[in-house]
Amino acid sequence: MSGEPTDSLPEVARRLVRTTYGRRATEPVPLASGAWSQAFALTVDGAEAVLRIGAYGTDFAKDELVAGLAGPGLPVPAVLARGMVEGWHYAISARAHGNGFDDLPAGDVVSALPSLLAAVDEIGRLDLAGTTGYGSWTVDRRAPYRSWAEALLAIGTETARVPGWRAALADSEIGLEPVEAGLSAIATLAPYLPAERRMIHGDLLSRNVLVADGNVSAVLDWGNAMYGDSLYDAAWLIYWWPWYPQWGAIDINAALLAHWRANGSLPANLRERLHAYLIHIGLDAIAYCTFQRRWDEVRTNAETVVALTKRAPGEIGLD
């Protein structure tokens, strides 16, 4: 981000709205603050909208692209405007209403889970014509890696958005050993991974799924979207499910198996593929939490990764 402003984002939001819309818009009211952006509620010409301001415009551009691809089975709010203001990137989107899936009690999760799994299927069906590569893609709809396994193994390399984590982890009592073990295990599982390229959200939960009346009302924040195996989003649910103790009585593995069987046969090499993705998700969490210096979470994820690496390929207790 060039010319980082010194004023708070709420003040930046107010100036943007006043300058761009004048009396056509209401004063922006702060909503949730995510890891990479701040959201504000407002109305523009009488229509409810959400303004987001952050350092990474690519995230908002990806939201816009996916909204243009999604059909009625995958509710993604339309992006109405994008641009820059005082060195920050911003986007204004149509507002969707609902409760964050993360915030639902167990009973509501049971009701909403079929809709969420159907939305995951729809993500995997998005049209990728004109796209290339594997891994995280950019606004030109290109991803940098030649194979899905190569994209997964790149998790051991630092990125501009999450710099310095390797040195920090190496200097900690945890060390780099869990990362190296995880990368070795993914390499072992690579022969089981498919060559298919499908859309992956890559950050389900984290209040990126809204639910209203028992159905998914919006799938938000496509900044982590990738091209690869669509089973990755299922693995995301499996990995993070235990972090929500209020859902402890809900067997996400059984729900996924029942969903897949109801929609056809189980995917080939299901357990081996999920095994690789669970390790990758844990490695991703280690890198991010190290960057944030959230050492208790680093330790927990490192323990999970090490436990997964000690299992034979596909031995992940899915049943």
CATH of the domain at 60: 3.30.200.20
What are the backbone dihedrals phi and psi of residue 215, each rounded to the nearest 5 degrees, phi first?
-125, 150
Q: Does residue 87 sit in the same domain as residue 103?
A: no
Mean pLDDT of 266-276: 97
Q: Does residue 254 sit in the same domain as residue 217?
A: yes
Task: Judge whether 4 lies within some domain.
Answer: no
Measured from the Cβ of residue 140, the count of other Cβ atoms closer than 10 Å reads 10
pLDDT at 39 over 60: yes
Q: How far apart are CA 161 and CA 36, in angstroms?
A: 10
Q: Does residue 107 sit in the same domain as residue 155?
A: yes
Q: Does residue 191 sit in the same domain as residue 281?
A: yes
Q: Which of 1-5, 75-79, 297-301 has the lowest mean pLDDT?
A: 1-5
Task: Judge whether 302 lies within some domain.
Answer: yes
Q: Does residue 154 sit in the same domain as residue 218?
A: yes
Q: Does residue 68 sit in the same domain as residue 117?
A: no
Q: What is the pLDDT at residue 265? A: 87
Q: Which of 33-42, 64-73, 251-260, 277-286 has the lowest mean pLDDT?
A: 33-42
Task: Judge whether 192 lies within some domain.
Answer: yes
Percent of the chain scoring above 70 in pLDDT: 98
**Confidence tier at 307 by pLDDT (50, 70, 90):** very high
73 is written with which tokens? Answer: 């089975």
Task: Judge whether 85 lies within some domain.
Answer: yes
- Residue ending a domain, among 94, 126, 148, is 94
Task: Judge whether 120 lies within some domain.
Answer: yes
pLDDT tens string 122-168 = 999 999 999 999 999 999 999 999 999 999 999 999 999 999 999 99
pLDDT tens string 218-257 = 999 999 999 999 999 999 999 999 999 999 999 999 999 9
For residue 29, the cross-strand partners are 41
For residue 62, the cross-strand partners are none
**Confidence tier at 303 by pLDDT (50, 70, 90):** very high
pLDDT tens string 86-106 = 999 999 999 999 999 999 999
Task: Judge whether 133 lies within some domain.
Answer: yes
Number of domains in the chain: 2
CATH of the domain at 264: 3.90.1200.10
- Residue ending a domain, among 69, 94, 119, is 94
Q: What is the pLDDT at residue 32? A: 76
- Best CA proximity match to 178, nearest among 277, 279, 316: 279
Q: Does residue 113 sit in the same domain as residue 42?
A: no
Q: Which of 28-37, 55-64, 77-86, 214-223 has the lowest mean pLDDT?
A: 28-37
Task: Judge whether 82 lies within some domain.
Answer: yes
Q: Mean pLDDT across the chain, nearest whole number? A: 95
Q: What is the pLDDT at residue 1? A: 35
Contact 236, 197 (CB under 8 A): no
For residue 52, the cross-strand partners are 39, 91
Q: What is the pLDDT at residue 7? A: 54
Q: Does residue 30 sit in the same domain as residue 113?
A: no
Q: How far apart are CA 205 and CA 289, in angstroms?
A: 17
pLDDT at 78 over 80: yes
Q: Does residue 45 sit in the same domain as residue 130?
A: no
Q: What is the pLDDT at residue 3? A: 38
pLDDT at 207 over 90: yes
- Residue ending a domain, among 94, 127, 153, is 94
Q: Does residue 253 sit in the same domain as residue 301?
A: yes
**Edge-first strand listing for the sheet containing 99-100:** 99-100, 209-212, 215-219
Q: Does residue 26 sit in the same domain as residue 117?
A: no
Q: Does residue 85 sit in the same domain as residue 157?
A: no
Mean pLDDT of 281-292: 98
Task: Judge whether 1 lies within some domain.
Answer: no
By residue range, what is the domain housing residue 69? 9-94
pLDDT at 318 over 90: no
